[in-house]
Amino acid sequence: QVQLVESGGGLVQAGGTLRLSCVAAGTIFSINTMGWYRQGPGKQRELVAAITSGGSTNYADSVKGRFTISRDNAKNTVYLQMNSLKPEDTAVYYCNADLVSGVDLGWGRYWGQGTQVTVSS
């Protein structure tokens, strides 16, 4: 019954801004790392940014200085602020969370369904 619900994707011109949100919905015991991955056409899924429960972050080199990941632990929500978007940022963005369900105490790595980000030239 845990689901990651993503929002905020869309179509934007190069140089524009989008803010992605992902809510881990359901009864959750704990969340360790949350992050964002993306997969462009014909490419493997790659890590964009990740953040631990303590706030430590990790970014792909290609987005450093442009993207910012943050989280609200009280809301079980992770955000990805994307500034100065480039056409090469075009991809399906997937939210990820490593968490323990509060219903059955089972651990799992959960993924959102993906949200499309398209950056035009």
Q: List, for residues 60-116, the tens digit of each pLDDT value.
A: 999 999 999 999 999 999 999 999 999 999 999 999 999 999 999 999 999 999 999
pLDDT for the residue numbered 43: 94
Instruction: Report the number of secondary-structure helices (H) and strands (E) in the chain.
Output: 0, 11
The answer to whether residue 1 scores a pLDDT higher than 90 is no
Residue 89 identity (one-letter amino acid): D
Cβ atoms of 43 and 93 closer than 8 Å: no
Report helix, strand or coil for 84. Answer: coil
Report helix, strand or coil for 22. Answer: strand
pLDDT for the residue numbered 88: 96
pLDDT for the residue numbered 95: 97
Cβ atoms of 95 and 33 closer than 8 Å: no
